[in-house]
Amino acid sequence: MSETDITPDTGSTATTTTAGESDEQARDAWTEYRAAGETKLSVEDINVWYGDDHALKDVSMDIPEESVTALIGPSGCGKSTFLRCLNRMNDRIKAARVEGSVEVGGTEIYHPDANLVELRKRIGMVFQSPNPFPKSIRENISYGPRKHGEIEKGLLARLFGRDDTEAEAELVERALKQAALWDEVNDRLDDNALGLSGGQQQRLCIARCLAVDPDVILMDEPASALDPIATSKIEDLVEELAKEYTVVIVTHNMQQAARISDQTAVFLTGGELIEYDDTEKIFENPESQRVEDYITGKFG
Ligand SMILES: Nc1ncnc2c1ncn2[C@@H]1O[C@H](COP(=O)(O)OP(=O)(O)OP(=O)(O)O)[C@@H](O)[C@H]1O
Ligand SMILES: [Mg+2]
């Protein structure tokens, strides 16, 4: 990966480019794509600053439901920052300031009264390195629903006649099956999750995310720490999940984006969304020369 120029924004309107990029001007029309199907997430003029660094500039895009949207672009172009805008995870970063609007099913997530717990349940996130809790496989799945008061278990629950052991078992089975992990772990649900392989841990994290019944699943390079076999399992799973959920996935792997996504958004240096379209169009006949150069490996 070549070095990117991440000079702080000086307020000029010139497009920041990576070494090897042409200085083509981006056109609004390249991002005005409307996918077939209902819009799940509607992003309007999102800007993000880290201190004085303008990391994401005027990004607008409609993300359709029940499909896979890939976010690609060179390192430092703002993919993770953008993904975090979609469930307000940037709120947790002190230096970050976000402006703009994101609507989920018509509800503004940046409304001051938005319920962040509810929001992050509805819009779950899976990270680059698998991060299961140091607890049993079963508890990794039931932790969220218990925290949200959907499952009660244990001595106190038994005393009050509210023990939900059966409901928990059903939930654990459903989530692990959805994440294509059930067959590999159903005989050791009480083992520590940290004993699973990396690929299994990542599918467990996906199952944990599914257990709270999200609508949208955000994934930030979920397979980049995995070997090819584990990666292909995650890819199959992503395609399967898109039948029911809205999946937005950041990937560095161009072939992966081409294989699994329905539409692709290309971000380039300077935090701009340059082109957004059907994945086939982006990979076979992009409008932007810079996007073509990026996809064919001329820079980035
Ligand atoms: N917590 C932070 N504090 C300050 N600056 C940050 C922070 N997170 C990201 N940035 C800056 O914002 C810009 C975009 O970063 P981001 O992590 O979103 O890029 P990315 O496209 O995900 O890169 P990569 O492919 O390397 O993961 C970069 O210049 C980065 O240095
Ligand atoms: Mg990133």
Q: How far does residue 82's CA lie from ligand 2's centre (Å)? A: 9
**Structural domain spans, the chain:** 29-133+214-295
The rounded distance, in Å, linking the Cα atoms of 36 and 60 is 17
| Residues within a 6 A CB radius of ligand 1 | 6, 50, 53, 55, 73, 75-81, 93, 95
Nearest alpha carbon to residue 76 among 219, 223, 270: 270
- pLDDT tens-place string over residues 156-177: 777 877 778 888 999 999 999 9
At residue 191 the predicted structure's pLDDT band, cuts being 50, 70 and 90, is: very high
* Cβ neighbours, 10 Å, residue 155: 8
pLDDT of residue 116: 94
pLDDT tens digits, 16-71: 555 566 778 888 899 999 888 899 999 999 999 999 999 999 999 999 999 999 99
- At a CB cut-off of 8 Å and minimum separation 6, what does 269 contact? 4, 5, 6, 16, 17, 18, 21, 73, 74, 76, 77
With the most atoms of ligand 1 within 8 angstroms of its CB, the residue from 18, 53, 224 to mutate is 53
pTM passes above 0.85? yes
Q: Is the pLDDT higher at 165 or at 280?
A: 280
Domain at 29-133+214-295, CATH homologous superfamily: P-loop containing nucleotide triphosphate hydrolases (3.40.50.300)
DSSP helix/strand/coil, 200: helix
pLDDT at 231: 94
Residues with Cβ within 8 Å of 169's Cβ and at least 6 positions away in sequence, in order, are: none
CA distance 217 to 123: 6
Atom 7 (ligand 1) nearest CA: 50
Tell me how far apart the alpha carbons of residues 213 and 63 are, in angstroms, rounded to a whole number.
19
The Cα–Cα gap between 96 and 81 comes to 9
